[in-house]
Amino acid sequence: MSAFNLQTCARSNILALEPYRCARDDYKDDGTNILLDANENAYGPSLTAAATTSTSSGPEIDFVGLHRYPDPHQGELKQLLCNLRNTHQHTDKNITPDNLFVGVGSDEAIDGLMRCFCVPGRDRILVCPPTYGMYSVSAQVNDVGLVKIPLLPAPTFALDVSRIKDALSNEPNIKLLYLCSPGNPTGSPLAKGDIQQLLEHPTWNGVVIVDEAYVDFSPDGTSLAEWVAEWPNLAVLQTLSKGFGMAGIRLGSVFTSAPIARLLNNMKAPYNIPSPTSALAIYAFSADGLAVMSANRDKLVAQRNRLIQELPKVKGVGRLRGGVESNFLLYEMLNKEGQPDNVTALAVYEKLAENKGVVVRFRGKEHGCLGCLRITVGTETEVTRFLDALERTLAEVNGHDTTVSKDEEKKEIEANAVIS
């Protein structure tokens, strides 16, 4: 009999790991659901219709050479990323491909920075909840400690700069500070001046990481990517999953100082970016791709504004918590007494998915998010269906009149069929 024992062979921090979970762990896409849970771009990828056919008149997407390993350096892709982010809003200097690491989504970058700077079992990172859950998951995987300094209360969700600076001064072995701007699940941007104060910390020897996954929904010039030319201790994370609507190709990037970028590139697998991923990303940064991205973003912003206008009219919807510089919104769900309530919010979340085919995200257990649902902005049709489903569901949960006529039931069934 083998002497193998998983419980003693595997690392204890991995055995105890609580994995990152999403709403689709509970509610799979059966083809009829509206998926407003994962902050995807509902209008699709930044590709023209012609780009997906063999008759495309735009930049060529070559899928023929798949018998060859992909470019290990991705120089063309990195230069296009630099072209996009060299706006000179924050510095007169230019960033170059030497300032770039590209990886498999932002998650490879989050993990890679941790492996680069943190000694397992000794070093720690600092996070500011409520924030993206993968920072904590990656820390546990890498046996890296976690220090938490919550954001200031809603609706600002700003950095508690004084407490963070105090922790960086007095807490031992903090190597990385993970910030999310605009925040997830808050949708709030962090103040540039606050970030600068942390970059200027006089005694802390560590790296400030700003995750800008949603920055393409902020005003033009918001990104701090080019600022890495000024700060040797700054890393800015970005992704094509959100604004560019290309979550399926899994491409993320790190803008940082050339020495840090060199370390990350030295660590990576030699061919970490597949050729199809690179080809599609390069197309997304072409004139045609950027035009599609811009048009889709405008449509999403219009629907975001529509939700901001219509949600307060729905009985049982409370305050907007956080900001509006993302493709999602964080709203309170109210109980019968008109108070934000996790029992109510969780019931609404479950009933929307199970009875209405609309999947959002329950965030009520996050710091400062009592009774909140995070709602991804969908297409016009999806937003219409969501608003109707939410109104009905809140009425059911809070015991209001839910009588529905046969004609209304028929219309709802037909609407669901059209969306599928």
- d(C-alpha 332, C-alpha 316), whole Å: 9
Among 141-145, 244-248, 384-388, 403-407, the least confident range: 403-407
What confidence tens digit (pLDDT) does each residue in 163-190 have? 999 999 999 999 999 999 999 999 999 9
Q: Quick one: tokens of 91?
A: 């510095």
Residues in the chain: 420
What confidence tens digit (pLDDT) does each residue in 270-290 have? 889 998 999 999 999 999 999
The per-residue pLDDT for 416 is: 43
What confidence tens digit (pLDDT) does each residue in 303-312 have? 999 999 999 9
DSSP string, 66-133: TTSPPPSS-HHHHHHHHHHH---SS-SS---GGGEEEESHHHHHHHHHHHHH--TTT-EEEE-SS--T
Report how far apart, in Å, the C-alpha atoms of 147 and of each of 117, 144, 170, 177 are: 16, 10, 12, 9
How many other C-beta atoms can be found within 10 angstroms of the C-beta atom of residue 381?
14
How many other C-beta atoms can be found within 10 angstroms of the C-beta atom of residue 342?
17
Looking at CATH, the fold of the domain delimited by 14-39+290-419 is given as Aspartate Aminotransferase, domain 1 (3.90.1150)
- d(C-alpha 184, C-alpha 58), whole Å: 35
Closest CA to 318 of 306, 327, 331: 331
DSSP string, 39-66: ---TT--S--GGGGSTT--SS----S-T
Confidence of residue 268 (pLDDT cuts 50, 70, 90): confident
| Residue 259: alpha-carbon gap to chain centroid | 26
- N-terminal to C-terminal alpha carbon distance within the chain: 53
How many other C-beta atoms can be found within 10 angstroms of the C-beta atom of residue 327?
25
Single-letter code of the amino acid located at 90? H
Bridge partners (DSSP) of residue 146 are 125
Long-range contacts of 5-14 (CB under 8 A, 24+ apart): 11/143, 13/140, 13/141, 13/143, 14/140, 14/141
Closest CA to 67 of 272, 268, 280, 274: 274
Q: Quick one: tokens of 321?
A: 């918590």
pLDDT for residue 101 is more than 50: yes
| Residue 303: alpha-carbon gap to chain centroid | 19
Q: Which numeric CATH code is attached to 69-285?
A: 3.40.640.10
The per-residue pLDDT for 116 is: 87
Q: Which helix (H) or strand (E) holds 261?
A: helix 258-267
SS3 content of the chain, % helix, strand, coil (to 5): 40, 15, 45
| Burial (Cβ within 10 Å: 0-12, 13-18, ≥19) of residue 67 | exposed
What confidence tens digit (pLDDT) does each residue in 34-58 have? 777 766 677 666 666 666 554 445 5
- d(C-alpha 243, C-alpha 229), whole Å: 24
Question: Any idea where the domains of the chain sit in the sequence?
Answer: 14-39+290-419, 69-285
Give 51 or 4, the one with higher predicted confidence. 51
Confidence of residue 412 (pLDDT cuts 50, 70, 90): very low
Closest CA to 191 of 181, 199, 201: 181
